[in-house]
Amino acid sequence: MTADLIALLTTTIALATPLLLAALGELIGERAGILNIGVEGLMLTGAFAGMLGSYATGSPTLGMLAACATALLLGVLFALWVVTLDVDQVVAGVAINLLAVGTTGVLYRAFFGNTGSALTVAAFAPLAIAPGVALLAPLRQPAPVYAALALVPLVWVFLFRTRLGLRLRAAGEAPHAAESVGVNVVAMRFGAVLAGALLAGAAGGYLSLAYSNTFVEGMSAGRGFIALAIVVFGRWQPLGVLAGSLLFGAASAAQFQLQAAGVAVPYHLLLMLPYVLTLVVLAIASRAARGPAALAQRRSLCATAD
């Protein structure tokens, strides 16, 4: 029983981490008024670039940097569209997703052959914390897990305890009012999008360099969209996002444990578990939740919003 719980907790943390990274990034963007549904594509790009970086250099750390940098580049493109050119955010996000799926697939085949290859890259190893103590196994996670957890308070302090954070939130709540008191809304939003892209890239890098040590096409497998739901679930709060990521991670982990235990429930129902749980909690939790007032509104059209 104890062993089962330890395994459940270990898997929960491992599965929650990419969601946490991506959702924290999306949270920063949404707080500035930018809805980026391209998280999925940024993650996939990060996973591919991370693998490629580690493959080329033999270092997962450099791979992770490549993941973040490449997603950041794509983030610049997205920011140019939605912030500078004021394009519809949903359309731009879809474009990012399509671009990422196509480009990673094409490049992967160009580098590693049409029918795939035996590809194993250097990946982050779990930290050897208190080896021999079975109860502490859930703590033995690769370094990016700890970085993701450390980001939760950091993002909170940034958003709610710094002047820059206040300006960023003002850009998402009342951009015109913020502009009238001298906040550079364009700069705030541009920066927020880049921060979000960087974290989505890190989430992708985690997938190919920490949770596994290879890349397959489409390996982000919808996690970017779950991260979007987690931001709503977490009521646009870092702690709420942490809770949502852990809940989703726990539900996924539990469903694998139940199947492995041979529980005689149709597997479709078990697979639904994390999604149903998210829906239920969203229905309850989001009733009182309200997003940033200017979220996903185009600046040219939002004059009436504030």
**Dihedral-angle region of residue 126 (phi above 0 means left; psi in -120 to 50 means alpha; beta otherwise):** beta
> At closest approach, how far in Å is the CB of 212 from another protein?
5
Q: Which of 18/175 has CB closer to another protein? A: 18
Q: Based on the shown chain and the rule CB under 8 A, indicate whether residue 256 belongs to the binding site for another protein.
A: yes
Q: Which of 261/288 has CB closer to another protein? A: 261
Q: Based on the shown chain and the rule CB under 8 A, indicate whether residue 217 belongs to the binding site for another protein.
A: yes
Widest pairwise Cα distance in the chain:
62
Q: Based on the shown chain and the rule CB under 8 A, indicate whether residue 221 belongs to the binding site for another protein.
A: yes
- The correct pick among 48, 55, 108, 124 for binding another protein (CB under 8 A) is 108
> At closest approach, how far in Å is the CB of 274 from another protein?
10
> At closest approach, how far in Å is the CB of 80 from another protein?
20
Q: Based on the shown chain and the rule CB under 8 A, indicate whether residue 212 belongs to the binding site for another protein.
A: yes
- Binding segment for another protein (CB under 8 A), chosen from 154-162, 174-182, 239-247, 265-273, is 265-273
Q: Based on the shown chain and the rule CB under 8 A, indicate whether residue 91 belongs to the binding site for another protein.
A: no
Q: Which of 158/225 has CB closer to another protein? A: 225
Nearest to 196 by CA among 186, 207, 188, 208: 188
Q: Based on the shown chain and the rule CB under 8 A, indicate whether residue 286 belongs to the binding site for another protein.
A: no
What DSSP assignment string belongs to the chain?
-HHHHHHHHHHHHHHHHHHHHHHHHHHHHHHTT---TTHHHHHHHHHHHHHHHHHHHS-HHHHHHHHHHHHHHHHHHHHIIIIIS---HHHHHHHHHHHHHHHHHHHHHHHH-TT--------PPBP--STT-GGGGGG--BHHHHHHHHHHHHHHHHHHHSHHHHHHHHHHH-HHHHHHTT--HHHHHHHHHHHHHHHHHHHHHHIIIII-SS--TTTTTTHHHHHHHHHHHTTT-HHHHHHHHHHHHHHHHHHHHHHHTT-SS-HHHHHHHHHHHHHHHHHHHTTS----TTTT--GGGGGGG-
> At closest approach, how far in Å is the CB of 101 from another protein?
5
Q: Based on the shown chain and the rule CB under 8 A, indicate whether residue 213 belongs to the binding site for another protein.
A: yes
> At closest approach, how far in Å is the CB of 114 from another protein?
6
d(CA 9, CA 6): 5
Q: Based on the shown chain and the rule CB under 8 A, indicate whether residue 214 belongs to the binding site for another protein.
A: yes
- The correct pick among 218, 239, 284, 298 for binding another protein (CB under 8 A) is 218
Q: Based on the shown chain and the rule CB under 8 A, indicate whether residue 115 belongs to the binding site for another protein.
A: yes
> At closest approach, how far in Å is the CB of 252 from another protein?
7
Q: Based on the shown chain and the rule CB under 8 A, indicate whether residue 164 belongs to the binding site for another protein.
A: no
Which residues contact another protein by CB under 8 A?
Answer: 3-4, 7, 11, 14-15, 18, 98-99, 101-102, 105-106, 108-109, 112-118, 120, 207, 211-214, 216-219, 221, 252-253, 256-257, 259-262, 267-268, 271
